[in-house]
């Protein structure tokens, strides 16, 4: 018999364990970060975390629809969507253009690179 899910959320002393995301305000202020694979999964989580901490995120992904949803659901964050296959020169040029001449970091989290 499986234990209820609540039993899996206790520490070794039997106390309720909890985790809450804590952002550092302004950590990425003035920085431009390119995040590939930004429309879903760990790429999306990375893009949102950076943007919540003040960074400009050039969010690259092959899915135009998911990128649109990401931006629409997160108004107020500096998310610049670029859709396309990051393994092509055309998309790389578009991503760099969207960065506006400044790239402070790159998080390559898609499957094609």
Q: Name all domains of the chain by residue range, CATH numbers in brackets.
A: 25-108 (3.40.50.720)
| Consecutive H or E run containing 59 | strand 56-61
Q: What is the pLDDT of residue 109?
A: 85
Q: What is the pLDDT of residue 1?
A: 43
Per the confidence metrics, is the pTM higher than 0.85? no
The whole-angstrom distance between residue 22's C-alpha and the CA centroid of its chain comes to: 15
Nearest CA-CA partner of 70 in 93, 51, 95: 51
Per-residue pLDDT of the chain (113 residues; tens, 9 = 90+): 444 444 456 666 777 777 677 889 999 999 999 999 999 999 999 999 999 999 999 999 999 999 999 999 999 999 999 999 999 999 999 999 999 999 999 999 877 54
Going by C-beta distance under 8 Å and a sequence separation of 6 or more, which residues neighbour residue 101? none
């Amino acid at each position: 018999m499986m234990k209820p899910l609540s039993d899996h959320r206790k520490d070794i002393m039997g106390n309720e364990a909890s985790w809450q995301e804590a952002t550092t305000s302004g950590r990425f202020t003035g920085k431009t970060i390119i995040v590939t694979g930004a429309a879903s999964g760990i790429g999306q989580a990375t893009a949102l975390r950076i943007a919540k901490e003040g960074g400009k995120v050039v969010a690259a992904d092959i899915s135009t629809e998911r990128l649109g949803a990401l931006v629409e659901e997160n108004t107020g964050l500096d998310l610049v969507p670029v859709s396309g296959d990051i393994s092509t020169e055309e998309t790389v040029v578009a991503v760099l253009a969207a960065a506006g001449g400044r790239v402070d970091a790159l998080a390559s989290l898609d499957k094609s690179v």
